[in-house]
Structure 1
Amino acid sequence: MMVTTGLLRKTLSAAMAVLFISSAALSNGVSAYTHSGGMHSESQILSAARNVDKQIQPWVDAKNDVIARADSYANEPTSAVSNFNVPGYYQDTAGHQAASSALQVDVNAAYTNAVAYRITGNTAYADKAKAYLNAWAFNNQDVSGFDGTLVMTYAGVGLIHTAELLRNYAGWGGKAQFEIWLQNVYLSKAANLIKDNSNNWGDWGNYGAISAYYYLDDTVNVNNEITRLRNKIDTSIASDGSMPHETARGDMGIWYTYFALAPITAAAHIAKEATGTNLFTWTSPSGKTLKSALDYLLYYVQNPSQWPHYANPMVPSATNKWPNNLFEAMSNYYNDPAYAAYAAQKRPLVVIGHHYAWAMPTLMKGGMTLLDENFNTMTAGTAPQGWTINNSANSSATVVNTPSTTNRSLRITDTNTAGASFAQYNIPVQQGVVEVEWKQMHNSLFSYAKFGVKSGGTYAAELFTTSAGLVYRNAAGTDVLVQALSANTWYTVKLVMNPQTDTADIYVNGQPKAANAPFRTAVSSFNQVEFAGGWGSTGTIFIDDVKVSN
């Protein structure tokens, strides 16, 4: 069943209501964080639903995959047990797998049905998901066995994500009992017992704990887990990007490196959602970074014959989708084409059945702020940090104290009729709908100050100033007036870019100005925003509050 426009409106309206409820709760001191949240924010869910509604790939294929899996559990009974007892995998493989499956099958069913509910709005999926949540919340009281704590942590975290997706569903009456189970079983008898381990057990414990504490709105313990995560990044990653505790695992070293990085990066994602802490770009006190570990894994999973730790290491089979799922998720955080290219080999990526970090990264790839720049923390008189600046003679792009010393902006000045200054910001490649917004002002209107969204060196959306005001140039090369402009006035311009239809909706100061405006050039993705001075004319333009989201 495809998501219709009417259903999308229903999903959008419901999500906006959820955001209102969450904000109201926060103001009343009830909720510390936005819910749904954690691994799957409301903006992420809205982004997925929008991309599916607009028939954009690979979201459509990913949605169909998830729906098919959810439907396959329509008649699947719950398998919750009072004592989740799992023997060690290397001591009793068959016993381990049999005991683990009770939880893993239920988490599969719960998680896929919860996502299906949030994408389609069909409450039958929500009711199926809640049955599994309630079964474990009301029946499971203990965790035991050599691997019980680990399996409960890495599989049970999927129940937390399910609960977040259903948190605002009025039909789920087991929320209070689920919180009791989180505290008394999941945290006390699983995640918290292993989160200080130095290997992947500790990584899963840390990720499970921060997921649970986010759900419980426990700000103190969320911050404690972020501190623990910082320490893990600093101590578990070597200077060359390897993870010694995992590379030492014989022929399974590549797998275990993935199995450690999946929860570490998922925990970093929740840390960013909870507090804005960005550990994806953080460098630890001893110089360690997540990026170095990811690069190490990507290189050797593609070049296993060069793996320096063990001859003939195990690598994913043709049907295994790890670590493609990890790099699908990371391609949203890092502007590294190699990540997206590796992920694309096996899309759509749905990795469920064992552990639950980055289980549905293709469908849920979105809802992130890729750029939010107000220039206020930058030094006036310097080029903006993180931007690529190309200046012709007698042109410049610098941060200035406009409107004030506490509210800075980017000034692009061009006194060269044969050149211009270009300010460009690169984002990870985006194949879905992207929103780009900025504020602009000029002291005196001049022609060909340019604003655009690009794919490589090609303009998808191209807007610029003329004597009449702000125009966009369409596929036929025709300039269409969008907005008359007055000097010394700030205008907020927003583009909603759709690569499936090669069109953009254009807004100025929140008012729609053009719907389905044709791209200047058809493209399949975007990776850059650009602002430039007047080529062929001279003048000054100010840019501020640049935002890009997917």
Structure 2
Amino acid sequence: MIKKLFITLSAAIMSTFFMVTQFTLAPTAFAYPHPGGLYSQQLIDEVKINAVSSNPWKIASDTLIAKAKWLQPEMPSAVATFYVPAYYSDPAAHTAASAILQDDVKAAYVSAVAYVLTGNASFGNKAIDILNNWAYINTDIGGDDSSLVMSYAGIGFIQTAELMLNYSGWGAADKAKFKEWVSVVFLNKVANPNKLRTNNWGTWGLFDAISAYRFLDDSPNVLSSITLLKSKIDAQIALDGSIPEEVNRGVGGLRYSYFYLAPLTAAAQIALEAEGVDLFNWISPQGKTIKSALDFLLYYMQNPVKWPYYSNPTLPTATEAWPYNLFEAMSDYYPDPTFAAFASTRRPIMETGHHYAWTFPTLMKSGRSLVSETFDGMPIGAAPTGWIVTNSADSSAVITSISGNEDKSLAISDTNTAGASLVHKLFPTQSNIVTAQWSFMEQTVFPYAKFGLRSGATFATEIYTAGSNLVYRDASGTYITIQSFATNTWYTIKIVANPMTKTYDIYVNGLLKIANAPFTNPVSSLNSIAFYGGWAPTGMVYINNVGVMK
């Protein structure tokens, strides 16, 4: 009896242990951090601090809060079947039908951002009321332009939900219903059918899909979306940066190019934040890049008379945010000061009402930029404002305009074989990765002009012009050729410097030339970018568009 009892108890204990062990070892459900995607909690916290007194965040925040208050009376107006007529068949009916969705998205998204920045529950409740209304009522998407409008406007609901997911005022049943709407309506009837198209419908569909899958914590489908995004970059962007499907669309070629790139770049941000895949700096198998497409668009936005596809292309009106919102956002990803300079004329930028990719680019700036200099606002003949200039006899560093237009640059001149000019710009000390970019040009060969990042007075990275070659100096003092260069030609150099590994990568005109070059001097932090005329040789070097980013 005792033996039988012992066996019975042992079996019970083992059974209990097995069940507990099974429960303990069972894998937990995967979840991305929320909020996330476009705007992480870390970024939101940074913006809260900056919005107190620092511009452009403060003025952008004030503008947003005022709009959120103005939108408080907005009543949700979801429909069971969302239908929008084709624009080119009936523009007025298209606009009216679109507004049913667009007005609700605007009120929800603006209110959600206002809530996460202020904690004001009235903003949070407004956002949730609208999300719930569409989740419970909308069950279908009609034909014609219905899925396109839901794609480029309805994505704002996903971004709203991402911000509000942890809000205590959003009940579990309502959250579940909204997630059901995302899966059954938004993904199945909008995002997934559209994402395979090769024009802007496709990039909006892909942005929709990767955002929705991230919101639903579906990592496998986020990863498959990243694969599709790579294929779009490789197949749909031309080597010159144009978007063939969009540039040939008559008078709207510039706007449609923007309308393709806005969701493409927003999808790239989701890929970076969710899975650590950096497509902003990725070079496709055929040599295509996002940056080349942005450069192409910016050039023709600034030079529309040169647009080769159609005379007098449509440009934004004085009140429209496109494509300023795109370049404001992209100034957080590339150390290219021309992006921020272009966008700054429209700050604070907020794109609400029509489509929702880069909606709050001024407000939600990350503050990664350390130096952003085009020299364009400085008087010709003067030393560069905000830079420290040290000249020896017969050397100088002044603002000039080579072609006599508004595009100014810094000219470093040296006619003294025993002297030089050093120009440097300080930034807060950085011990993590720093990316720097600048353009240079020599009209005649100026041997041993030097460019680099410094720690105090010590150059960590040293790149030189040596005859007709670009070279870098390694830790042993050896000069190693990067590539040749031609006079009277601008070259853009980018370096990605890592004080932790004391190495840096060198890019020329967007192409990686040297990986893991050793620091010339093994410093542990960086705090300035510097340009130096050769000590013994004489000559002149022009510097332009200097950017440094952490």
Q: Distance in 2 between matches of 1:154 and 1:424?
A: 37
- Paired with 1:348 and 1:408, the residues of 2 have a C-alpha distance of 35
Q: Partner of 2:35 in structure 1? A: 36
The CA deviation at 1:206 is: 0.4
Distance in 2, matches of 1:32 and 1:231, equals: 26
What secondary structure, in the 3-state scheme, does the structure 2 residue paired with 1:291 have? helix
CA distance in structure 2 between the aligned counterparts of 1:353 and 1:361, rounded to whole angstroms: 15
> 1:368 Cα deviation (Å)?
6.4
The code of the aligned residue for 2:364 comes to M
* Cα distance, 1:235 vs structure 2: 1.1
Structure 2 distance, partners of 1:285, 1:341, is 31
Does structure 2 retain, via aligned residues, the 8 Å contact 1:389–1:397?
Answer: no
**AA matched with 2:462:** N
C-alpha deviation, 1:453, in angstroms: 3.1
Residues 253-302 of structure 1: CA deviation (Å, up to 9, x unaligned): 00000000000000000000011100000111111000110000001011
Specify the alignment match of 2:325 in structure 1: 325
After TM superposition, list the pairs within 5 Å mapping 1:207-246 onto structure 2: 207-246=207-246
CA shift in 2, pair 1:283/1:372, >3 Å? farther
Alignment match, 2:150: 152
Per-residue CA deviation, residues 445-487 of structure 1 (Å, 9 max, x unaligned), is xxxx895534878xxxxxxxxxxxxxxxxxxxxxxxxxxxxxx
| SS across alignment from 1:389 | coil
Measured after TM superposition, the shift of residue 68 of structure 1 is 1.2
Partner residue, 1:463: none
Q: Distance in 1 between matches of 2:344 and 2:131?
A: 33
Does the 8 Å CA contact 1:280/1:290 hold for their aligned counterparts? yes
State whether structure 2 residue 342 is matched by structure 1 residue 270: no
TM-superposed deviation, 1:65: 1.1
Give the distance between the partners of 2:92 and 2:431, measured in 1 at CA.
50
* Residue matched to 1:250: 250
Q: Distance in 1 between matches of 2:67 and 2:499?
A: 50
Please name the residue that 2:364 is paired with: 364
Letter in 2 for 1:216: L
Task: Kindly indicate whether the alpha-carbon contact (under 8 Å) linking 1:113 and 1:129 is maintained by their aligned counterparts in 2.
Answer: yes
Aligned counterpart, 1:93: 91
Instruction: Give the 5 Å matches for 1:96-495.
Output: 96-173=94-171, 174-366=174-366, 389-390=461-462, 397=475, 409-410=500-501, 453-454=527-528
Task: Give yes or no for contact 2:200–2:260 (8 Å, CA) kept in 1.
Answer: yes
Superposed CA offset, 1:91-150 (max 9, x none) = 111111111101100000000000000111111110011011001011100000200111
Instruction: Tell me how far apart the structure 1 counterparts of residues 163 and 368 of structure 2 sit (CA, whole Å).
Output: 17
Contact 1:388–1:424, Cα closer than 8 Å, also in 2:
no
Q: Which SS does the other structure have where 1:85 is aligned? A: strand
* Cα shift readout 1:499-523 (whole Å, capped 9, x = no counterpart): xxxxxxxxxxxxxxxxxxxxxxxxx
Find the aligned partners of 1:216 and 1:88 in 2 and give their Cα distance: 31
**Shift in Å, 1:33:** 1.1
Task: Report if aligned partners of 1:397, 1:411 keep a CA contact under 8 Å in 2.
Answer: no
- In structure 2, relative to structure 1, the CA distance for the partners of 1:275 and 1:451 (3 Å cut) is closer
Distance 1:528 1:89, change over 3 A: closer
Q: Give the CA deviation at 1:409.
A: 4.7
SS of 2:461's equivalent? Answer: strand
2:317 aligned partner, one-letter code: S
> In 2, distance between residues paired with 1:367 and 1:227?
29
Partner of residue 475, structure 1? none
Tell me the distance in 2 between the aligned counterparts of 1:238 and 1:91: 31
How many angstroms does 1:389 deviate by? 1.1
Match of 2:55 in 1: 57
Give distance in 2, aligned partners of 1:285 and 1:128: 46
- For 1:291 and 1:308, locate their aligned partners in 2 and report how far apart those are by CA, in whole Å: 20
What is the deviation of 1:390? 2.8
Distance in 1 (CA, whole Å) between partners of 2:502 and 2:193 is: 54
Letter of the 1:314 counterpart:
T
Using structure 2 for the length normalisation, give the TM-score: 0.66
Residue aligned with 2:320, SS? coil
Separation of aligned partners in 2, 1:50 and 1:134: 31
1:245 is displaced (CA, Å) by: 0.4
**Structure 2 segments unaligned to the other structure (5+ residues):** 1-25, 371-429, 435-451, 465-472, 477-497, 508-520, 532-545
Whichever residue aligns with residue 168 of structure 2, its letter is: A
Q: Which amino acid aligns with 1:207?
A: F
Structure 1 match to 2:440: none
Q: Which amino acid letter does the alignment assign opposite residue 356 of structure 1?
A: Y
Give structure 1 stretches of 5+ with no counterpart: 1-26, 376-383, 399-406, 413-422, 427-441, 444-448, 458-525, 530-547
What is the TM-score normalised by the length of structure 1?
A: 0.66
Aligned partner of 1:539 in structure 2 is none
Q: 1:356 to 1:388 in 2, by over 3 A?
A: farther
Q: 1:125 and 1:337 mapped to 2: Cα distance?
A: 35
Alpha-carbon spacing, 1:391–1:219, altered in 2? closer, same or farther (3 Å): closer
Q: Which secondary structure does the structure 1 equivalent of 2:347 belong to?
A: coil
Task: Give deviations 1:212-236, integer Å, cap 9, x for gaps.
Answer: 0000011111111101100111111
* Residue aligned with 1:84, SS: strand
Q: Percent identity?
A: 49
Contact 2:499–2:524 (Cα < 8 Å) also in 1: no
Q: Distance in 1 between matches of 2:529 and 2:347?
A: 21
How many angstroms apart in 1 are the aligned matches of 2:316 and 2:433? 43
Point out the structure with max Rg over C-alpha.
2
State the number of aligned residues.
Answer: 389
In structure 1, C-alpha distance between the alignment counterparts of 2:98 and 2:499, rounded to whole Å: 56
User: C-alpha separation between the residues in 1 aligned to 2:548 and 2:339?
Assistant: 17
Write the deviation string for residues 34-56 of structure 1: whole angstroms up to 9, x where unpaired: 11011111111111111012x00
Q: Is the 8 A contact 2:453 2:462 kept in 1?
A: no
In 1, Cα distance between equivalents of 2:188 and 2:463:
59
Letter in structure 2 aligned against 1:227: T
Are the aligned partners of 1:82 and 1:140 in contact in 2 as well (CA < 8 Å)?
yes
* Match of residue 15 from structure 1: none
AA at the equivalent of 1:318: A
Cα distance, 1:28 vs. partner? 6.5
> Partners of 1:450 and 1:183 in 2: how far apart?
49
Match of 2:46?
47
Partner residue of 1:503?
A: none
Structure 1 residues 139 and 362 mapped into 2: Cα distance closer, same or farther (>3 Å)?
Answer: same
Aligned counterpart, 1:506? none
Change (3 A) 1:121 1:244: same
Instruction: Give the residue type in structure 2 aligned to 1:238.
Output: A
- Of the candidates 65, 68, 73, which is equivalent to residue 66 of structure 2? 68
Q: Does structure 2 conserve the Cα–Cα contact (< 8 Å) formed by 1:250 and 1:309?
A: yes
Structure-2 separation of matches of 1:270 and 1:51 = 23
Write out the 4+ residue segments of structure 1 that deviate beyond 2 Å after TM superposition. 27-32, 367-375, 384-388, 395-398, 407-412, 423-426, 449-457, 526-529
